[in-house]
Amino acid sequence: MGVQCNAESGERVVKAAIEAFGRVDIVVNNAGILRDAAFHKMTDQQFLDVLNVHLHSTFKVSKAAWPYMLKQRYGRIVNTTSTSGIYGNFGQANYAAAKCGIIGFSRALALEGRKYNIKVNTVAPYAGTGLSRGALPDELFQGFKPQYLCPLVGLLCSENLIPEPSTGGLYEAGAGWVAETRWQRSGGVAFPANQSLTPEMVVQHWPSVTNFDDGRADHPREPADGTAKVMANLQETKNENPSKSDDSYLDKIAAEQNRTAPGTEFSWNEKDVVLYSKHHLPKKFALD
C-alpha cells in the first residue's frame, strides 16, 4: 500500500494508513531534498523548500499520527536527521538548519509522549541514496547501503524497546557502525549572580569556560539537567550574600506605591481671574 502525495500532506498519509490497517503504530519520517548552495548565493526559496520538505513534513506527519497514538497509548516515531544538522556542512545552511530542527523537535516530542508510551528517536544515517548518488565514489556508495541502517530503525520501532533511556535518543549509523551521539558541556565558570558581569571578566576565564578535560564536564539530557548549574549558581550566590541577593526590591516597590505627592499650592487674586477669563474662556462666558 502506498500514497503518492506531497511530503507535507501528513493527514493524507496517516488517513491512508488508518483506512488500511485501522491504527498507526509506527511513523518513520524520511522525506528529503537537497538545494545546496554557498550561503551568500542561497535564495529564500532554496532555504524554505528544504525546511518544508524536511522539517515541516516531519511535523505534519507526526501531528496527524499523534492523536491516534495518544488514544491507544502506544507509538514509535523515528525521525531522520543528518550529520549536517549535528556538525554543519559547507553549502548546506538550509539542510543543516532543517536537520538540526528535527533533533530539537524529536526531543520535545519524546518528553511529551513519554507517559503515553510514545517513543521518539532520531537517526543520522551515513547512507547512499538518490540524494548522494554521484556525490560519492561508487565503492563508498556501496558501503553506505541503507540495509546497514534498517536494524537500528527496526529496533527503535519495536514493541520491546532497548533498555532505558529508550526515547529522546540521537543515533549515528552507517556501513555497519552504530553509535549514540550526546551533548557535552564543560564545567564552566560560576560568576556571582548579584554582580555586574562584563565581557572582560568572561574572557579572563575563557580557558575554564572551554575546558572539557578538567573532570567537570557533563552530558545533560533532560531539561532539568540543562538548567541545573545555572540554578545552583543562583542558590550559591544567595547563600553567600543573603543581604545582596534577597527580595529587598519588593520592599522598594511597596515604598514607591505608598508614596504620596506633596502637592503644589496655587493662589490668585481678582486680577488673575479677570485675565484668565479674557484669554481662555469663550467670549460669551468672559467677564466684562
Catalytic residue selected from 74, 95, 148, 171: 95
Nearest to 40 by CA among 101, 104, 91: 91
Phi-psi map region of 7: left, alpha, beta (phi>0 left; psi -120 to 50 alpha): alpha
Q: Which helix (H) or strand (E) is 198 found in, with range?
A: none
Concerning whether 171 is annotated as a catalytic residue, the answer is no
- Extended beta strands in the chain, E state: 26-29, 75-80, 118-125, 170-174, 177-180
Cα(57)–Cα(246) distance, integer angstroms? 48
Radius of gyration for the alpha carbons in the chain, expressed in angstroms and rounded:
31
Angstrom distances, CA of residue 168 to CA of 35, 78, 164, 174: 28, 10, 10, 20
Cα(83)–Cα(85) distance, integer angstroms? 5
| Strand, coil or helix: 77 | strand
Sole residue written with cell 549572580: 193
List the catalytic residues: 95
